[in-house]
Structure 1
């Protein structure tokens, strides 16, 4: 095949129509290696063909452009062959070479021009959102005013119930501070009501792990209900003139400090073990 090429070299004029047909199929100028492979020529002729293809083609008249547009790409080979045999070049296929390239470029540029304003608009919406409307914070001092009478009533009720269930004066430091005395009945309002307020705060904050929030909700409602039952039991026994509570009430009241300690430890553990599972 090498001998045939050197013995019968193909003229460049015969290669131009085939190269233009390749440009029409690819939609762009092929590389030198692609021309060497498709046209079966050497590097020198491939460079010469590329030089001819790179030159701007003369603008055809509207009649010729219309006629060329209706011709199928496969017909270019036969037309070029006839023009070669007759000895006259065929100018019709020439403007069809770079036409797909020139027509494709405006389409891409128009599509890019239409798509350009979309990106800044989306970025502006994300970067500069409207600031939320923030109202004035609600004052907290009315809560203290409401809590003061409730504290007095709850404190007296729990201390009175503790006296009816066996809570009383003890010496927590025997042999060290014999004069130091404490009434263990105060552990009931401090433990139960303080935990109820703490668990209620954790539940309503909304910035804690899911399991901790669920446990805080259940334990807060349970502590508030238990505190209400304790107050009811104390006032009923006091109105009835009882000096000692029944055994089942004494049992429940005696278990309250232990229950409060367990719930407080469990809630603290849940708050510090699941920091990623936060439900706003």
Structure 2
């Protein structure tokens, strides 16, 4: 070593550059101890030289600061962000005019749909829905009023009520003690049970039959039982008027038997129809 080297310690990069030339010629890499002995450096610096020697050969520049013209190895300056992939859409922190902004070639070659709010500065034309012409207001259909039904029902109620009550009296229905042993003075004419039971059930069955939404079995039962109730009601009115015209005080036993069974038949039919309207049978059956 020269006195210059003692006064100015040789950098590790310079030692590595000198040894790299020797290594390229001989093909042998010196050990750390050899570097420490030859260049009179410590173990840390010898390890640094050995690391630089085994690393890829960097670019060399001329050291102009010392004035001696020595060739000094300079480490390449790298940016910590060089390894990051290039973003074709860098984040802009200031407003950008989309009309004049440069678009990368990889993006410009793509098909950009018209009206895209991000890539196409031209606003897309939004087609408004076609104006609907309001349909001509149809004239309101006036539903029939219900008050005429009261006029129709009033005379029918009087005739039917009188006929069933009269037929009941001819068949043996009359005043009974409603609560014997409890209220002996509370009497009731049992003949009124005929018009209330038969005609009320007929109206109920008609409603179930003619109203949508009920199970098919219930509507089918209501249809036939309503027809039977109406026919039975007509037969009762005919029988009463014929017996009255013939001045009969007592109905024949056949009529008495049939009239006596009517309250029980009405009770069974009403209970069955009410049960059928609450079933889960939703299969459509043609009545």
TM-score, normalised relative to structure 1: 0.52
State yes or no: 1:270 paired with 2:276: yes
Change (3 A) 1:225 1:130: farther
For 2:135 and 2:207, the matched residues in 1 are separated by 31
Change (3 A) 1:171 1:205: same
What aligned pairs does 1:135-146 form with structure 2 within 5 A after superposition? 135-146=141-152
Structure 2 stretches lacking a partner, 5+ long: 1-110, 112-126
Paired residues of 1:168 and 1:185 also in contact (CA < 8 A):
yes
Q: Which has the higher contact order (CA 8 A, sep 6+)?
A: 1
Paired residues of 2:216 and 2:282 also in contact (CA < 8 A):
no
- RMSD value over aligned CA atoms? 4.5
Provide the residue aligned with 1:224 in structure 2.
230
What aligned pairs does 1:19-98 form with structure 2 within 5 A after superposition? none
Structure 1 stretches lacking a partner, 5+ long: 1-101, 103-116
Provide the residue aligned with 1:23 in structure 2.
none
TM-score, normalised relative to structure 2: 0.51
Change (3 A) 1:276 1:132: farther
Q: Which runs of 4+ in 1 moved over 2 A?
A: 128-134, 274-280
Change (3 A) 1:134 1:269: farther
Equivalent of residue 170 in structure 1, options 173, 176, 182: 176
User: Which entry has the higher C-alpha Rg, 1 or 2?
Assistant: 2
State yes or no: 1:187 paired with 2:193: yes
Structure 1 residue 154: Cα displacement: 0.5
Task: Give the SS at the match of 1:193.
Answer: helix
Structure 1 residue 205: Cα displacement: 1.6
Change (3 A) 1:133 1:275: farther
Provide the residue aligned with 1:159 in structure 2.
165
Structure 1 residue 224: Cα displacement: 0.5
Change (3 A) 1:268 1:134: farther
For 1:207 and 1:130, the matched residues in 2 are separated by 33
Paired residues of 1:208 and 1:278 also in contact (CA < 8 A):
no
Provide the residue aligned with 1:246 in structure 2.
252
Structure with greater strand percent: 2
